[in-house]
Structure 1
Amino acid sequence: MKLVFVLVSSLCLLSKADEISNRRFPDDFLIGVASASYQIEGAWNEDGKGENIWDRFTHDDPSRIADKSTGDIACDSYHLYKEDVALIKAVGLDFYRFSISWSRILPTGYADSVNIAGVNYYKNLIKELKDNGIEPMPALYHWDLPQPLQEIGGWLNETIVDIFADYAKLCYQLFGDDIKTWITINEPKQVCLAGYEGGGFAPGIVSPGVGVYNCAYNLIKAHAKAFHIYDEEFRPKQNGRISMIIDAVWYEPGSDSDADKEAAERDVIFLFGLYADPIFKGNWPQVVIDRIAMRSKGEGLEKSRLPEFTPEEQTYIAGTADFLALNHYTTHMVNASTVEPEFGGPSFGKDINVIEWDLDNWETAGAGWFKIVPWGFRKLLVWLYNYYQTEIFVTENGLSDFNGTMTDDHRITFLQTYLTALLQAIYEDGVNVTGYTYWSIIDDWEWTGGFTSKMGFYAVDFNSTERTRTPRKSADYFTNVMKTRCLVDSCV
């Protein structure tokens, strides 16, 4: 495997983390915030909306969620969307990345049963954004599959490819004249690995070493079909662009040994390249193909557990992204494993076969996996740009905590250090990064973390029927960033 790590000294990057950049964001650099339908809208069964897999997942077993809560009401943004748009405008942001609830506009999941009330909600939201000078950036899918589609197998059933394409086409028809940037699917790794490998996320399917790859195979083909429909039927008139968001952790080699460097890169490629390589290069990464084939043979299988793209599918999928859309939160260290796991029951972890760990002095934010490592963000941006040679748009980044303090200086420091790393990648490393998205404008329902995790510029009082929004100190700080296009008081 060809190593493409950029060997920038971690010590150098760590020393620069305390030096907040005084460079201005480029004039055409876009800055916005993001949210997702299930996490903020509420109104889970109002106005004709159908049930989705997270409705079923939380209702069936509340113990799956840290505080046994659901997204039934969440932030009540279905009724308070105008207030949310006003908050986005008050901070001075350029765009709002939100997701469309598939079940809200198609209660059965199929395009022959359109819920007009749901359509009108998104039309009204988009109009409110446009009227306030904020560009809407909708995602077609952010994890909330209509439950009727899960009952036929969800992302494991190949018919989902055409069903998703029909849904995408309807959205282009309904909303596309007002949209310049579309996202097809948000974070396929979470959809497939968390949903169909270990079952920690909805729909809760446990299928180690099998479900994750079948899900990825169908999901990538669904994305590609949605891309081609837009490219051929709608782009000539609507003039927008489209991509799929993929999330990435930076994996830093635990030593300078070739084995550790290769292991760290293998981690990145299995967890990011599994989804990015097909849409940018046309096929699964070779190391993924080789390792799963080897493991499958050792398990006594006649063929690989990894579905194979036909030559025609490879051609169809290659190039189905106008830019690389990246979500990033944290970094881990990686060492090579000295032994190959015993052959037996398959798993995604055995297929990768690396050892992940964290440095003791890394600060932890919110959940234990969330380490604050700004230099890892820079290294990731450089690696991705060298590997894929395309524009990068950061579609999600942010800080979680469990105390919800209003004087959130730690969040301001996080923004300063992570955005310093981003500006260093642009100005010092020549990476073509064109946008940044903070998660989120308001506290929300954070999946299995429920309401315990606070990530908003604005706090939400979830004990109030009004779901009152109150600005944190970080909201004031970021409002000034948007005015000055600068992280510090004086920029060059």
Structure 2
Amino acid sequence: MKIFLLIFLACFCTGAFGIYIPKATNITNRKFPSTFIWGAATAAYQIEGAWDEDGKGESMWDRFVHSDPTHIDDRSTGDVACDSYHKWQEDIELLKQLNVKLYRFSVAWTRILPTGYLESFNQAGVDYYVNFVKALRAAEIEPMVTLYHWDLPQTLSEQGGWLNDSTADRFGDYARIVFKNLGPYVKLWATINEPKTTCTQGYASGEMAPGLKLVGDGIYQCARVQLLAHATAYHIYHDEFADQGGNVTIVIDATYNEPLTDSAADAEAAEWEFEFNLGWYANPVYLGDWPQIMIDRVGNRSKAEGLSQSRLPPWSKDELEFVKGTFDYFALNMYTAVAVNAIDEPPIGTGNYYLDKGTGTSYKPEWTPSIAGWLYSYPYGMRGLLNRVWSKYNPGSIYVTENGWATTEDLNDQGRLEYLQGYLSNMLDAILEDGVVVDGYTTWSLMDNFEWARGYTQRYGIIDVDFNSPNRTRTFKDSAKWYSQTAATYCLVDTCVD
């Protein structure tokens, strides 16, 4: 289904950056609700730099990039990145110029507890983030704080990291410090960002830190421990800091899963794909327990492999009660869609999450590819996924906390602008036509940054960063000029109706 083709006409208005408003077809001209909150998102390791300054400890990503440069496509590191640790005041000015009222960023665990343990408490790290959130408030920008965006203290990683149940307790210790110190200025919290990506790429494929390849069992234990860590932080907040009046949840990434054909078999496969991805993490939090299809399939395949118990670790009754209901809203990261088809049952052999799923995935030829091999533009997928989350989990409120497009280094980033317009138009359809409550949106990303294993070869920012300059000069791209106007007018095109 082709949702949009955008026709851009030159249209520059006066303003600090020359606001650029594209002419578009098939993009809604209705306004977003006046209560909708526009924002942008980043993560500590990807932008801060200053990797060993002011008492900061080593994270598993510091170790990953330093121990073997070939882990990263361009042999780069996050040692300096965007230098936002030193340039945070400039970043706030950029947010003001974008007209956004919400900034999602993450705290570096290793700035607060350099080793992950309480005895390593670092006041300088606490002071840095307190000053930052105070400055955001003074600029009338709401901070949305993510406690963990993949930068586990290396000390904890060496003790098993997300395979070790005790990491959930250490996460609780860290969360309590952040809640106590930043809580008076923060009302929106996210505990763990994209736990699925941490587990699939850090503990299964080995592509990301800590580089382990445990695709049959470690991947599931990783999920279990991260969910326990999330629930630990959630309960600490509501038991000890409820008077702060904030909301807490976990951030889950997902694709929109479109059956490859109209067959019943492909429709069932698309449902399995949903449960083995989004449901894997959402079900325990919003409904209780793993999705039944995961319990059945992993259990049956484990038995056929000769194992005495399922590779998918069961929850105890107390754990189920502890994790279930640990949400105040739904935080959704959504970038792309996949086409899903039924396949023959994979042969039994060594345990493997991807064989456990029992699905085939691909992309449809009419979808627009980006330079990132996994990212295709299919704007209707945004509306479809929002409706699926809303109907299945009844979260009360959704924030889309990441959504963006990869390009090369180019200020004239029409591909990103088209992508954002199309996805946001479909988001608005879900709000106005389907009754889905989406309260806010933080695009990924505020600026170009260290894109994990891809280094600096892929740019997701609406603001360009010159990584060859010691000053890390920031420059608005066309998408930033458009986004600034959209955030000011609540309108995706040059003229909207109320």
- Of 463, 466, 476, the match for 2:468: 463
Q: Secondary structure at the match of 2:118?
A: coil
Q: Say whether the 8 Å CA contact 2:4–2:26 is kept in structure 1.
A: no
- Of 376, 384, 391, the match for 2:381: 376
Shift of 1:66: 1.0
**Is the aligned partner of 1:54 residue 2:72?**
no
Matching residue's letter, 1:113: S
Q: Say whether the 8 Å CA contact 2:4–2:422 is kept in structure 1.
A: no
* Residues 1:93 and 1:15: Cα distance change in structure 2 (over 3 Å): closer
Q: Say whether the 8 Å CA contact 2:258–2:337 is kept in structure 1.
A: yes
- Of 164, 185, 188, the match for 1:181: 188
Q: Secondary structure at the match of 2:105?
A: strand
Partners in 1 of 2:329 and 2:5 — Cα distance?
31
Structure 1 equivalent of residue 346 of structure 2? 341
Matches within 5 A, 1:76-475: 76-235=83-242, 237-337=243-343, 339-390=344-395, 391-402=397-408, 404-475=409-480
Partners in 2 of 1:112 and 1:321 — Cα distance?
30
Matching residue's letter, 2:430: A
Q: Say whether the 8 Å CA contact 1:14–1:375 is kept in structure 2.
A: no
Structure 2 equivalent of residue 7 of structure 1? none
CA deviation vs aligned residue, 1:445-481 (integer Å, no higher than 9, x gap):
1001101111112111100111111111111111111
Partners in 1 of 2:439 and 2:133 — Cα distance?
23
Matching residue's letter, 1:462: F
Shift of 1:398: 0.8
Partners in 1 of 2:357 and 2:188 — Cα distance?
34
Shift of 1:273: 0.6
Partners in 2 of 1:482 and 1:158 — Cα distance?
42
Partners in 2 of 1:44 and 1:189 — Cα distance?
25
The percentage of aligned residue pairs carrying the same residue is: 49
Partners in 1 of 2:256 and 2:218 — Cα distance?
24
How many residues are paired up?
A: 479
CA RMSD of aligned residues (A): 1.3
Partners in 2 of 1:76 and 1:131 — Cα distance?
22
Q: Say whether the 8 Å CA contact 1:398–1:440 is kept in structure 2.
A: yes
Q: Say whether the 8 Å CA contact 1:252–1:264 is kept in structure 2.
A: yes
Matching residue's letter, 2:291: P
Partners in 2 of 1:15 and 1:426 — Cα distance?
22
Partners in 2 of 1:392 and 1:441 — Cα distance?
20
Q: Secondary structure at the match of 1:112?
A: helix
Q: Say whether the 8 Å CA contact 1:111–1:170 is kept in structure 2.
A: no
Partners in 1 of 2:4 and 2:479 — Cα distance?
23
Matching residue's letter, 2:265: A
Partners in 1 of 2:464 and 2:495 — Cα distance?
29
Q: Say whether the 8 Å CA contact 2:4–2:27 is kept in structure 1.
A: no
Partners in 1 of 2:35 and 2:366 — Cα distance?
37
Structure 2 equivalent of residue 29 of structure 1? 36
Matching residue's letter, 1:377: M
Q: Secondary structure at the match of 1:243?
A: strand
Q: Secondary structure at the match of 1:183?
A: strand
Partners in 1 of 2:480 and 2:225 — Cα distance?
40
Q: Say whether the 8 Å CA contact 2:103–2:142 is kept in structure 1.
A: yes
CA deviation vs aligned residue, 1:162-198 (integer Å, no higher than 9, x gap):
1111111111011101000011000000111111111
Matching residue's letter, 1:445: F
Partners in 1 of 2:247 and 2:430 — Cα distance?
24
Partners in 2 of 1:112 and 1:155 — Cα distance?
21
Q: Say whether the 8 Å CA contact 2:112–2:174 is kept in structure 1.
A: no
Structure 1 consecutive aligned stretches of length 4 or more whose deviation exceeds 6 Å: 14-17
CA deviation vs aligned residue, 1:54-77 (integer Å, no higher than 9, x gap):
001111111111101000000000
- Structure 2 residues not aligned, in runs of 5+: 7-23
Q: Secondary structure at the match of 2:241?
A: helix
Shift of 1:360: 2.0
Partners in 2 of 1:486 and 1:465 — Cα distance?
37
Partners in 1 of 2:440 and 2:140 — Cα distance?
17
Q: Which deviates further from its counterpart, 359-368 or 38-47?
A: 359-368
Structure 1 equivalent of residue 18 of structure 2? none
Shift of 1:18: 4.3
Matching residue's letter, 1:453: Q
- Of 31, 36, 47, the match for 1:40: 47
Q: Which deviates further from its counterpart, 358-367 or 371-380?
A: 358-367
Q: Secondary structure at the match of 1:274?
A: helix
Structure 2 equivalent of residue 6 of structure 1? none
Structure 2 equivalent of residue 485 of structure 1? 490
Partners in 2 of 1:199 and 1:381 — Cα distance?
31
* Residues 1:352 and 1:407: Cα distance change in structure 2 (over 3 Å): same
Shift of 1:24: 0.8
Partners in 1 of 2:370 and 2:261 — Cα distance?
25
Partners in 1 of 2:488 and 2:55 — Cα distance?
41
- Structure 1 residues not aligned, in runs of 5+: 1-9
Partners in 2 of 1:105 and 1:223 — Cα distance?
18
Q: Secondary structure at the match of 2:119?
A: coil
Matching residue's letter, 1:147: Q
CA deviation vs aligned residue, 1:239-285 (integer Å, no higher than 9, x gap):
00000000001110011211100101110110111001000011111
Shift of 1:365: 1.1
